[in-house]
Chains A and B, each alone.
Chain A
Amino acid sequence: MTATDHGLLSVLYTSNARAPFGDDELRKLLAQSRASNARKDLTGMLLYRGGRFVQVLEGPEQIVRDLVATIAEDPRHSDMRVLIEQPVGRREFSDWTMGYQPIAETTGAAPEGFRDTFDDLENSRDPSATLRAARELSFWFRVKSQRAQQNADAD
């Protein structure tokens, strides 16, 4: 995103939408955040799943902190929990001012022996499990984005 990627901070938070977000509301939210993030040199990813938001924000530390404080006051959501806040050497979502891919709620238990990514992300008391879950989501996002890109190229 920028040549001066030092002093970067990455924050992942979850929250509850106060009212269900349909496609129009999500489109509006994404347009708003992408325009704002482009101006502020911020990048990240947004997921909306079963009335809950998962968002990753990354960029210059103070700008990220200021935005997180602003988001915390946003009346469109509640119960915001910052699950990960860490300095990073490089951006995970450098190509996205605010990446988005639709994701559905799971409909049953994970296969035997499998972790549940969202369960680990939100409920694990083990910080390493939370971090691993965040990486899994990032990986999932990249795979889905790559497929969307290939499908768009094929059209």
Chain B
Amino acid sequence: MSPVDSRSAPRRPRTGTGIVWARVEDGFHVGSRDGDFVGYIDRLPDGRYQAYDSRSRSAGTFPELTAAMRALASPPAATPAADQPPIELREIR
């Protein structure tokens, strides 16, 4: 397959997994699929990448960003934890 000509086509944000990846700030990357977050990836001080699912559970640490992306690309396994409420929050003043 030949690469897309970036001069004539919009930059393709989607991967083959249907996930749109975005950088919010340096070292913080968010992935979403059809409006639902699949998780986020932090770049660690040592240059590795820590992947978290949408409930902030670690999905592993990886030497490459693409490996961290791949770890979040699979549909989550059905576990009792999937029924837990999302991130619990309270205001920090």
Contact = CB atoms under 8 A, between A and B. Distances in A.
A and B physically associate: yes
Interface in B11-42: 12-13, 15, 20-26, 28-30, 32, 35, 37, 40
B92 A149 contact: yes
B83 interface: no
Closest 8 CB pairs of A and B: A115-B22, A110-B23, A140-B24, A117-B24, A115-B13, A114-B21, A117-B22, A136-B30
Interface in A17-55: 34
B33 to A, nearest CB: 11
Given A114-B13, A135-B35, A95 B22 contact: no
B89 interface: yes
Interface in B56-93: 56, 65, 87-93
A140 B28 contact: yes
Interface in A46-69: none
A133 interface: yes
A152 interface: yes
Contacts of B56: 143, 146
B74 to A, nearest CB: 18
Contacts, number: 84
B23 A117 contact: yes
Nearest to A120: B22
Interface in A113-155: 113-118, 120, 132-133, 135-137, 139-140, 142-143, 145-146, 148-149, 152
Q: Interface extent on A, as a size class?
A: 20 to 34
Interface residues of B, number: 27
Contact of A149 (B20, B35, B65, B89): B89
Interface string A71-105: 00000000000000000000000011101000110
A32 B30 CA distance: 32
A97 B22 CA distance: 27
Given A143-B28, A145-B89, 6 more contacts: A104-B26, A111-B21, A114-B21, A135-B35, A142-B89, A146-B87
B23 A107 contact: no
A106 B23 contact: yes
Contact of A115 (B23, B26, B52): B23
B89 A140 contact: no
